[in-house]
Homo-oligomer: A and B are copies of this chain.
Amino acid sequence: MIIDATRGKPNAMQVALANELINMPLTSYVTEGIDVRNYGVGDGLPAMKRIFAELLGVDAYEVIVGGNSSLNLMFDCFATFVLAEQWGSGAKFICPVPGYDRHFSISEYFGVEMINVAMTENGPDMDIVEKLAADPDVVGMWCVPVFSNPQGYVYSDETIARLAKMKTAHPHFKIFWDDAYTIHHFSGSRPTPLNILSECRKNGNESRPVMFASFSKISVAGAGVSCFAASGDSLATLRKRMNAQTIGHDKVNQQKHINFFKDVKGVEAHMQKHAAILRPKFEYAIAYMEKHLKDTGATFTRPQGGYFISVETLPGCAKRVCQICKENGVLITDAGATFPYGKDPADSNLRFAPTFLSIDELEKTLEVFCAAIKTASET
């Protein structure tokens, strides 16, 4: 029996939390004058936009509601700027590392060169980011500001303020702000970082950020509702593409989300159910690592939200750990996956994904994983 711990998927108990949403009949098909079954309303139902606007701290007119996948929106927004801003060959993108492999796949698909910047507990190393932004070929940057993938770090207010006000040599530098885990704390309270759009606007850079959010890890992983939010020229450019691209996304599913959650309070209450499932897994995993990685030279993060734990082995060990795990029936995220082009220069970072596993599987995975790190460190 192979255990698959490669991806940050919610587990069966979590997706079942929204069975009622899936099975909820619509009692009315018309809302605010809109038949949710018919064509139209390209940017989403007003009530859905209001929920996203409150979640992201933006105005509803700045929100465009998408389909089930915020990754799809990120890809499409990236594609928009590739065309509109001519991010052709020579363009470069700042990638805080370790980071999210699917972000890197998007940049790679479009041939935009990726530049690694180290993450700290407060976000990317801003001294380096500011230096890179002084290069006119550097057109933008990926960010996961809250419970970063894979560390679970939260950007500090200083980091966000510096991102908002930094001088960029490229006049239309874009920050892709993937707020995937904005209310996904399972311990403590919801982080309240500075709002990137407000901060950028204060500094005359309102077109700099494009923010993304998704219900995939709130309602149904494969059938949620996503959005992006932007302002100024960015919003105009993205709207233009959207108007050519679609007559509108699934409003029936939007209406079911509106009926099920009602408002942001409803979303927050629902997230406590996820937290109750995830907290014990993270606590168990962290306690196990505390005990069993002690003498291996490996370090790991202790996130209070998100979907991952980031583990740093001694240099040169990560690939070997993956291999040993595989030989023992446990698949973990490939070593290197958290870096652009799949290349971890130190071969030391591993993304540990506890969420999808049952407690039994988690125990087995940790046992194999920590033993593998021990073996790899000693040889």
A23 in contact with B25 (CB, 8 Å) = yes
CB-contact partner of A67 in B23, B38, B102, B249, under 8 A: B249
CB-contact partner of A12 in B35, B110, B245, B252, under 8 A: B35
Of A26, A35, A216, which is in contact with the most chain B CB atoms at under 10 Å from its CB? A35
Cα distance, A220 to B231, chains bound together (Å): 32
B250 in contact with A222 (CB, 8 Å) = yes
- Stretch in A71-79, A152-160, A171-179 touching the partner: A71-79
Closest chain B residue to A241, Cβ basis: B109
B15 in contact with A37 (CB, 8 Å) = yes
Cα distance, A26 to B223, chains bound together (Å): 13
B26 in contact with A38 (CB, 8 Å) = no
CB-contact partner of A253 in B75, B223, B247, under 8 A: B223
Cα distance, A222 to B76, chains bound together (Å): 20
Contacts A109-B241, A253-B253; A247 near B69 (Cβ below 8 A) = yes
CB-CB under 8 A from A194, the residues of chain B are: none
- Give residues 20-77 of A contacting B (CB, 8 Å): 22-23, 25-26, 29, 35-41, 67-69, 71-72, 75-76
Is A192 interfacial (CB-CB < 8 Å)? no
Cα distance, A233 to B231, chains bound together (Å): 39
Size of the A side of the interface (Cβ < 8 Å), in residues, is 54
CB-CB under 8 A from A252, the residues of chain B are: 22, 220, 222-223
A39 in contact with B9 (CB, 8 Å) = yes
CB-CB under 8 A from A82, the residues of chain B are: 83
CB-CB under 8 A from A19, the residues of chain B are: 26, 29
Is A18 interfacial (CB-CB < 8 Å)? yes
Cα distance, A131 to B109, chains bound together (Å): 35
CB-CB under 8 A from A216, the residues of chain B are: 39
B75 in contact with A223 (CB, 8 Å) = no
User: How many Å from the CB of A210 to the closest CB on chain B?
Assistant: 16
Is A191 interfacial (CB-CB < 8 Å)? no
Is A246 interfacial (CB-CB < 8 Å)? yes
Is A336 interfacial (CB-CB < 8 Å)? no
Please encode chain A, from 232 to 261, with 1 for each CB lying within 8 Å of some chain B CB and 0 for all others. 000000001101111111111100000000
Is A105 interfacial (CB-CB < 8 Å)? yes
CB-CB under 8 A from A35, the residues of chain B are: 12, 15
B67 in contact with A250 (CB, 8 Å) = yes
Cα distance, A82 to B80, chains bound together (Å): 12
Cα distance, A9 to B69, chains bound together (Å): 26
- Give residues 213-233 of A contacting B (CB, 8 Å): 216, 220-223
B26 in contact with A71 (CB, 8 Å) = no
Is A106 interfacial (CB-CB < 8 Å)? yes
Is A201 interfacial (CB-CB < 8 Å)? no
Is A10 interfacial (CB-CB < 8 Å)? yes
B222 in contact with A37 (CB, 8 Å) = yes
- Given A9-B38, A75-B246; 17 other pairs, CB 8 A cutoff: A7-B39, A15-B29, A15-B37, A19-B29, A22-B37, A22-B252, A36-B222, A39-B221, A40-B222, A71-B247, A102-B244, A105-B243, A109-B240, A109-B241, A222-B248, A223-B250, A223-B251
By a beta-carbon cutoff of 8 Å, the part of chain A in contact with chain B is 7, 9-10, 12, 15-16, 18-19, 22-23, 25-26, 29, 35-41, 67-69, 71-72, 75-76, 79, 82-83, 102, 105-106, 108-110, 216, 220-223, 240-241, 243-253
